[in-house]
Chains A and B, each alone.
Chain A
Amino acid sequence: MRRVYFDNNATTPFLPEVFEAMRPYFGEKFGNASSIHQQGQQARGAVERAREQVAQLLNCRAAEVVFTSGGTEGDNLALFGMTAPGDHVITSAIEHHAVLNSCNRLEEMGCTVTYLPVDGRGLVDPDDIRRALRPETKVISIMFANNETGVLQAISEIGKIAAEADVYFHTDAVQAAGKVPIDVKELGCDLLTISAHKFHGPQGTGALFVRKGTLLQPLFYGGRHERSRRAGTENVAGIVGLGKAAELARTGLTDGKVAKIAELRDRLENTILQNIDQVAVNGRGAPRTPNTANLSFDCVEGEAMVIALDLKGLSVSTGAACSSGAIEPSHVLTAMGLSADRARGSIRFSLGKQNTDEDVDFALELVPEVVSRLREISPVYKKPAVSHQPSALS
């Protein structure tokens, strides 16, 4: 059976060059990057080359890159590393749980946190940030791209507000890396999280950008790795993969690969809107990453649709991968004002570099068929009058 993978926001397949770059580090180049001898030097060289590659993706200095185990660790490190009891943090209601749950913990530990709302398009109002500022505000943490909808926040504007207020600014850019350009100078952020497996690199490895001069309390104590910011023997193979993936993420923005993804996503989204009634785009009206289409299908249970599509060969999701099986509808969609029913009927299609026109054709055959069957069984669905109105285009 043909399999098409449209869940790249959950994770992405390796690009062949990435795996090839990593291969020697599972074999003869096994050294510990801190060792003095030849194997150590070899490993150290590889780690520092990867650091350069990440720095180029973010337009920062190599010394400002801290290697981590991924996005969650990066977010935790940024938040716990920059706050102390009594501090105030400003964040948004649509952050990834790595940020939200860390903030909940910070509140238990004596910090105060403001969770800003978003509008119907999923956007934070920068004025809300201004209004939320207090003398004790230490960190603003707003995600660059949302994992469920792909909606992009006005990070540069928020960076300016943070600078004016002399408050640290962290952005979770896990879903943005490789999809839109990232320039930390332009964004004005002090900390920024990325994760390799979201841009065709390996799982279990990522980086946190920490602007020079930012005093960060580490999470892990031990050796002096990463300039004493993150103890632990380097995951050399993983870091090499991260570096290569970062390089390809950067080049993909200008060599046509990302542009192709945008074209595929637009065709998928627009054709579905034209051919299926009662469908809405979540995040319509806001700038979005070029690969994500989060669509609500009225009178359809998202979970059943995901299973039905999976059994036919198409991989998609209802929202964040980490909340599958949870009862509550997506906190992101709820924050955007969707009713529980609409939120439960939402499907996220997220494309990647490996997807093709044939993949989109395949999906366009399956989706209407599955939606149709589900609506047939649904007690609440009402077929529209003979000449159906195409669903509103974004």
Chain B
Amino acid sequence: MSGGVDSSTVAAMLCQQGYHVVGLTLQLWNQRRLAGKSGMPESGQGRCCSIDDVYDARRVAETLGIPYYVVNQEERFERDVVRPFVAEYLNGRTPIPCSLCNNHLKFDQLLTTARQIGADLLATGHYARDEFDEASGRWLLKRPADRSKDQTYFLFGLTQEQLSRTRFPLGEMHKPDVREEARRAGLCLFEKPDSQEICFIPGGDYKQFLDAYLDEQGEPIPDTAGELVTTTGEIVGTHTGIHNFTVGQRKGLGVATGSPLYVLEIRGDKHEVVVGGGDELFSRILRANRLNWISIDDLREPMRVEAKIRHRHEPALGMMEKTGDNEIVLTFDEPQRAITPGQAVVFYDGDVVVGGGWIV
């Protein structure tokens, strides 16, 4: 229970269906820690895990008459989500903390806690569907009815064990219906806006966060100043640090030329940022490693799939094949814009999530 409409409605629905429900909130990040530092916003109001959100979750639990506990996992979150997040940026990649959080906290720690306290299943407010497929004997993760809220991109790391003990009651519902359900259940937060950005970065400015966090840790941002180069090796400018850039970025290059320049690639070892024209951003080749398979147990022969290379991306058709023990190469039918190392690639077969991995 995050204090948001989705998880609150799930709790209400499960109570109506007669389950013994226990509400758990994961306390993951202390919003007041970096408030006001390095330009970070002063109040952490309205972010996930803020005092207000815990308060809202608690009130929902009270309304529903279910036991409610806050489980503190700040240490683990910092170690398994925040630190890797920072490291990725400093190495010139663009991370997705939400997938790591799902893998390590929501569907690992929380499932453990659920078992410890005697619960059989964990239900969350994610927009996704999971079901057991008799034919293959595997648990499947599928896209939800409400495509606009599809969160399967962040859930590609779930194992069979995790899927077997998780339920996504909102899989068949559309957001407006969820709010209506919340209202009918008497939950005052049915009109609460959805939280959009990364939960531990209020205001959404990740550079401010890096500054504030590293400053707090007493670790100065490593000096990765270097050169802006073209694909042919020509130096067209300089930059003050690779963590300021992400593939596909146009602003902040500080170079005035005739046509717009985009970040094509970030070379962490050489501190080089490769820039070029918009058309150079497109590519058909994607490599990924650290794969997790869901609908199949392994990729034994090339497979045609639709792939998403970031959350807000329309899945595109391509052919993927194994290139090593835990790596694949995917060749898209059509060139895709800004394939970004550090992001996840998730493979779909229609509605079914085949699996996913990390773009290198």
Partners in one complex: yes
Name the residue of chain A whose CB is nearest to the CB of B119: A311
Interchain CB contact under 8 A, B74 and A304? no
A87 is an interface residue with CB less than 8 A from chain B: no
A377 to B115, CA, bound (A): 8
In the complex, chain A residues whose CB is within 8 Å of the CB of B118: 308, 311-312, 373
Interchain CB contact under 8 A, A304 and B72? no
Interchain CB contact under 8 A, B67 and A311? yes
In the complex, chain B residues whose CB is within 8 Å of the CB of A305: 116
Interchain CB contact under 8 A, B72 and A307? no
Name the residue of chain A whose CB is nearest to the CB of B27: A325
Interchain CB contact under 8 A, A327 and B75? yes
1/0 contact string of A303-337 vs chain B (CB within 8 Å): 11101101110000000000001110000000000
Interchain CB contact under 8 A, B75 and A308? no
Interchain CB contact under 8 A, B67 and A310? yes
1/0 contact string of A284-307 vs chain B (CB within 8 Å): 000000000000000001011101
A303 to B71, CA, bound (A): 8
Name the residue of chain A whose CB is nearest to the CB of B74: A327
Interchain CB contact under 8 A, A304 and B117? yes
Partner of A308, one of B70, B112, B117: B117
Interchain CB contact under 8 A, A377 and B112? yes
In the complex, chain A residues whose CB is within 8 Å of the CB of B70: 325
Interchain CB contact under 8 A, A304 and B27? no
A89 to B: closest C-beta gap in Å: 29
A214 to B115, CA, bound (A): 56
In the complex, chain A residues whose CB is within 8 Å of the CB of B71: 303
Interchain CB contact under 8 A, A308 and B72? no
A374 is an interface residue with CB less than 8 A from chain B: yes
In the complex, chain B residues whose CB is within 8 Å of the CB of A307: 69, 113, 116-117
A374 to B71, CA, bound (A): 16
B22 is an interface residue with CB less than 8 A from chain A: yes
Partner of A311, one of B22, B27, B113: B22
- Chain A 325-360 residues near chain B, CB threshold 8 A: 325-327
A96 to B: closest C-beta gap in Å: 21
A304 to B116, CA, bound (A): 6
Interchain CB contact under 8 A, B72 and A325? yes
B133 to A: closest C-beta gap in Å: 28
Interchain CB contact under 8 A, B67 and A377? no
Name the residue of chain A whose CB is nearest to the CB of B72: A325
In the complex, chain A residues whose CB is within 8 Å of the CB of B27: 325
A94 to B: closest C-beta gap in Å: 22
In the complex, chain B residues whose CB is within 8 Å of the CB of A303: 71-72
In the complex, chain B residues whose CB is within 8 Å of the CB of A301: 116
A333 to B345, CA, bound (A): 47
B24 to A: closest C-beta gap in Å: 9
B29 to A: closest C-beta gap in Å: 11
Name the residue of chain B whose CB is nearest to the CB of A305: B116
A324 to B217, CA, bound (A): 25
In the complex, chain A residues whose CB is within 8 Å of the CB of B74: 327
A365 to B: closest C-beta gap in Å: 15
Interface centre among B27, B70, B115, B116 (most CB of A within 10 A): B116
Name the residue of chain B whose CB is nearest to the CB of A379: B112
Interchain CB contact under 8 A, A327 and B117? no
- Chain B 110-148 residues near chain A, CB threshold 8 A: 112-113, 115-118
Interchain CB contact under 8 A, B113 and A304? yes
Interchain CB contact under 8 A, A374 and B116? yes
Name the residue of chain A whose CB is nearest to the CB of B30: A327
In the complex, chain A residues whose CB is within 8 Å of the CB of B117: 304, 307-308, 311
In the complex, chain B residues whose CB is within 8 Å of the CB of A373: 116, 118
A197 to B116, CA, bound (A): 32
Interchain CB contact under 8 A, A326 and B113? no
A311 to B113, CA, bound (A): 13
A380 to B: closest C-beta gap in Å: 13
1/0 contact string of B70-111 vs chain A (CB within 8 Å): 111011000000000000000000000000000000000000
With A310-B67, A311-B67 as contacts: A327 and B72 at CB distance below 8 Å: yes
A254 to B: closest C-beta gap in Å: 40
B93 to A: closest C-beta gap in Å: 29
Interchain CB contact under 8 A, A308 and B22? no
Interchain CB contact under 8 A, A326 and B112? no
A307 to B70, CA, bound (A): 10
A373 to B114, CA, bound (A): 12
Interface centre among B27, B72, B118 (most CB of A within 10 A): B118
Name the residue of chain B whose CB is nearest to the CB of A308: B117
A156 to B: closest C-beta gap in Å: 40
In the complex, chain B residues whose CB is within 8 Å of the CB of A312: 118
1/0 contact string of A161-182 vs chain B (CB within 8 Å): 0000000000000000000000
Partner of A377, one of B69, B72, B75, B116: B116
In the complex, chain B residues whose CB is within 8 Å of the CB of A377: 112, 115-116
A373 to B118, CA, bound (A): 9
Interface centre among B71, B115, B117 (most CB of A within 10 A): B117
Interchain CB contact under 8 A, A308 and B116? yes
A312 to B22, CA, bound (A): 12
A345 to B: closest C-beta gap in Å: 12
A325 to B71, CA, bound (A): 7
Name the residue of chain A whose CB is nearest to the CB of B112: A377
A245 to B118, CA, bound (A): 39
A377 to B114, CA, bound (A): 11
Partner of A326, one of B67, B72, B115, B116: B72
A310 to B117, CA, bound (A): 9
A305 to B67, CA, bound (A): 15
A-B contact list, 11 entries, CB within 8 Å: A301-B116, A303-B72, A304-B117, A307-B69, A325-B72, A326-B72, A327-B74, A373-B116, A377-B112, A377-B115, A377-B116
- Give the 4 A-B residue pairs with the shortest CB-CB distance, closest first: A304-B116, A308-B117, A307-B117, A325-B72
